[in-house]
Each structure stands twice: as structure tokens, then as C-alpha cells.
């Protein structure tokens, strides 16, 4: 990789999650303007995450029309510390806060709904993390849990949101233990409860759990949902209804690129690091150049 150009700097962010790899290529101008040139995501599906990271990275570069040597910095986040072509690594909360702020400038918190856990991250107008709360990995409010339920019901993840919004008599299920919640679903199916009402009940249960998480983190104002479940409009709608029902001072939003928030944030923080080192007259280590 080369050093940063005089007026335009290109950086990449690689977010390796438990189920999906995301890559974003970002451009920063000398006057601080930022834009995302490309963004790609790919589910791991029991494959080698590092091999997937290479493939998605190359695809994102090609989509942006640039090469790896054009990049001033390759930043990883999530479980990406083992990516061999990285320049540096950023914590997931830091990356999601920065990416969330880029996607939604009014946001002062993000709710990162991942495959194994969910975390509410409170931040300021400069994406500085002020506090956070996280669920446990065994909780039923995870992307993996919802994927397991979808598989059992014979629907795709893309269909969940629309089906859930059709539910008119949602059935409640366990909001704490994933095993008990899955047992609840099996019992619902045996009783003839419709798929829309099952999914709606699950979404309402998850929404209530998320709202408690957000409240415990002291979050108010605009909250951006990030991570893989941000595109589940049934879940986002359930969260908005739960917030309205409890009169919580929250404006819950999603974005078409919410799944890329961590990768975007890593790319932008990488550019910030290069600029700060340059201001101090310090270059990147030879191994990272």
C-alpha cells in the first residue's frame, strides 16, 4: 500500500462478524469530506472467514475501481484481527459508532444487532463512545436465534419482516432463553398459530429486550439500528411500537447500508489515524506501508 495522496485518501474497512463479512471502501478529501465508494457483504456459511474476507475485499475494490496499492490504510474490526492484509484494528463499538454517525448524522446511539449478541452504544457528535450495554450470547435476542426460527418455519431471512408485519394476533414467547423460546415456537406450530403471528410475537419479544438494553445505556434521541437485523423492517417496526408504548424519547431509524456500519466506521477511523500520524510527522510502520 502507498501513503495517502495529497488531496484524496482512500481507506478500507473490513468487519468480520460471526456470520457475515463486510467491506467498505471510503474516500476522504483534504477538507474532510467523506464518501463511501463501495460496500459489500457476504455470509460466511461455515466457510473460512479469512478466505471470505479476501474475496469480499477484492470485490469491493473492483466495484470502487481502485487497487489495494491505492489504499492508505486497511482497518479491521469485529473478529478481523487475523486478516493478514490489515494495517490496524479498531474495536467494534468504536467502528459502529463512527459508521452509524456517518450514515445518520443526527444519531447519538447505535443498536448493533449481531448474530450472537446485541449491544447499545451511546456516543457523542464526534463518534466518541460514552457508554454501552450488551446482551449475553445465550439470549434469544440474536440474529442467529432468528435465523434458526426462520429455518424451522421454512422461510427466508428476507421474508421475515414482511410476514411479521402481517401478524394480527402475535403470540408471546420467552425473551431470555433461546432454548425455551425455540420450544415455545415448536408448541405454537403444533397449536396452529400462523407464521406471521409467530414472527410478530418473536419480534415484539426482541423489541422489548432491546428497549430495556437501550434504556439501561441511557440512550435518548436518534437511535440507528445497525448490524445484520437492521434490514428486518418487522423488527424495526416492533421496536418503534415498543418505544411509543413506553413513551420512550427515542427516534429509531435504520439505513439501507446499516449492515455496513462497522466496516464504514473502520475505514473512516483508518483515515483519521493516517491524518493524525501525518500531522505529527510520523509515518505508518514499514510493515503496514
174-232 pLDDT, tens digit each = 656 667 778 888 899 999 999 999 999 999 988 998 999 999 999 999 999 999 889 99
Q: What's the predicted TM-score (pTM) here? A: 0.90
Extract the C-alpha cell encoding 245: 408504548
Instruction: Give yes or no for a contact between 14 and 57, defined as CB atoms under 8 angstroms apart.
Output: yes
Over residues 122-134, the pLDDT tens digits come to 999 999 999 999 9
**pLDDT score recorded for residue 3:** 45
> Where do we find the cell 484524496?
8
Which contiguous run of DSSP H or E holds residue 237?
Answer: helix 233-245
**Strand order, beta sheet including 71-78:** 34-43, 20-29, 8-16, 71-78, 88-89
Q: How far is CA 286 from CA 43, 68, 169, 282, 283, in A?
A: 33, 16, 62, 11, 8
Q: Please give the CATH topology (third level) of the domain spanning 105-254.
A: Nucleotidyltransferase; domain 5 (3.30.420)
CA 179/CA 271 separation, integer angstroms: 43
Within the chain, all domains assigned CATH 3.30.420.40 are found at 8-91+260-288, 105-254
Contacts of 152 (CB under 8 A, 6+ apart): 182, 185, 186, 189
Average pLDDT over residues 237-254: 94
Q: Which of 73, 76, 72, 89 is nearest to 50 (CA)?
A: 76
Percent of the chain with pLDDT over 70: 91
Q: Are 24 and 264 contacting, i.e. CB atoms less than 8 angstroms apart?
A: yes
Residue 289: pLDDT above 50? Answer: no
Class of 8-91+260-288 per CATH? alpha beta
Q: Contact at 8 Å (CB) between 262 and 92?
A: yes
Is the distance from CB of 11 to CB of 268 less than 8 angstroms?
yes
Report the candidate in 78, 69, 71 with the shortest Cα–Cα distance to residue 25.
Answer: 71
State the pLDDT at residue 245. 93
Nearest to 112 by CA among 274, 254, 288: 254
pLDDT value at residue 136 = 66
Phi-psi region of 268 (alpha: psi -120 to 50; beta: other; left: phi over 0): alpha
Please tell me the total number of residues recorded for the chain in this structure: 289
9-31 pLDDT tens trace: 999 999 999 889 999 999 988 77
Nearest to 85 by CA among 40, 53, 61, 37: 53
> How many Å apart are CA 187 and CA 201, to the nearest integer?
13
Q: Which of 236, 142, 153, 158 is nearest to 197 (CA)?
A: 153
pLDDT-based confidence at 248, cuts 50/70/90? very high
Amino acid at each position: 500500500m502507498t501513503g495517502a495522496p495529497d488531496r484524496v485518501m482512500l481507506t478500507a474497512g473490513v468487519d468480520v462478524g460471526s456470520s457475515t463479512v463486510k467491506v467498505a471502501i471510503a474516500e476522504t478529501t483534504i477538507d474532510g469530506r467523506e464518501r463511501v465508494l463501495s460496500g459489500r457483504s457476504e455470509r460466511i456459511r461455515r466457510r473460512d472467514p479469512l478466505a471470505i474476507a479476501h474475496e469480499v475485499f477484492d470485490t469491493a475494490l473492483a466495484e470502487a475501481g481502485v487497487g489495494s496499492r491505492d489504499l492508505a490504510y486497511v482497518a479491521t474490526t469485529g473478529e478481523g484481527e487475523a486478516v493478514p492484509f490489515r494495517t490496524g484494528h479498531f474495536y467494534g463499538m468504536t467502528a459502529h459508532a463512527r459508521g452509524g454517525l456517518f450514515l445518520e448524522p443526527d444519531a447519538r446511539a447505535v443498536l448493533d444487532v449481531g448474530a450472537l449478541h446485541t449491544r447499545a452504544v451511546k456516543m457523542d457528535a464526534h463518534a466518541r463512545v460514552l457508554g454501552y450495554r450488551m446482551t449475553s450470547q445465550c439470549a434469544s435476542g440474536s440474529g442467529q436465534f432468528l435465523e434458526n426460527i426462520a429455518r424451522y418455519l421454512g422461510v427466508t431471512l428476507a421474508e421475515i419482516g414482511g410476514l411479521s408485519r402481517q401478524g394480527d394476533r402475535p403470540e408471546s414467547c420467552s425473551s431470555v432463553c433461546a432454548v425455551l423460546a425455540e420450544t415455545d415456537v415448536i408448541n405454537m406450530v403444533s397449536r396452529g398459530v400462523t407464521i406471521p403471528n409467530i414472527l410478530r410475537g418473536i419480534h415484539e419479544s426482541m423489541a422489548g429486550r432491546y428497549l430495556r438494553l437501550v434504556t439501561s445505556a441511557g440512550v435518548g434521541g436518534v437511535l440507528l439500528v445497525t448490524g445484520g437485523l437492521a434490514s428486518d423492517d418487522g423488527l424495526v417496526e416492533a421496536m418503534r411500537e415498543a418505544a411509543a408504548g413506553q413513551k420512550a424519547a427515542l427516534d429509531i431509524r435504520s439505513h439501507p447500508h446499516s449492515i455496513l456500519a462497522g466496516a464504514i466506521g473502520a475505514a473512516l477511523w483508518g483515515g483519521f489515524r493516517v491524518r493524525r500520524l501525518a500531522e505529527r510527522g510520523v509515518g505508518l510502520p514499514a510493515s503496514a506501508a
